[in-house]
Amino acid sequence: MGIEDLLTPGTVLGSFRASSKKQTLMALAEHISAAHSLDSRIVFDALQAREKIGSTGVGHGVAIPHARIPNLEKIVGLFAHLKTPVEFESVDDQPVDLVFMLLAPEEAGAEHLKALAKVSRLLRDETMCDKIRRTTDSSALYAMIAQPSSNAA
């Protein structure tokens, strides 16, 4: 499974506006829910429950919120480049402007972890993150993030 299997052109958002961590999670939960016919409240509640365990702000302006969702058939993702960084209680106390949300079926074990690892590798690449931060167009972001050659490994 590659990044291209997690995203669609409609689940990559450039210049996304949000003013807080909660608002970011809520708005992105609504967006991914609409794209995949999910209940946004269930998605938001699952993301909030995961955040209570520990922030998914992994540092360097990146967050990877993730949750397991009942009745979801496959792992899905959403990427958002925030227009203005938001406080996310990240491990390095830096605000977040790159958010990659992952939702997995409840029974997804190793596949969920593999998807998290793949996203983490992509967003640990400083050169890639610099390119992403210079891009606000959703279509260009999708081409950059979801092209199979950009995230092989």
Among candidate residues 31, 36, 66, 112, the one labeled active-site is: 66
Question: What confidence tens digit (pLDDT) does each residue in 83-133 have?
Answer: 999 999 999 999 999 999 999 999 988 999 999 999 999 999 999 999 999
- Active-site residue, 112 included: no
Classify domain 3-146 by CATH architecture: 3-Layer(aba) Sandwich (3.40)
Q: Which two tokens stand for residue 138?
A: 């959703």
- In the chain, domain spans: 3-146
Q: Note the pLDDT tens digit of each residue in 26-75.
A: 999 999 999 999 999 999 999 999 999 999 999 999 999 999 999 999 99
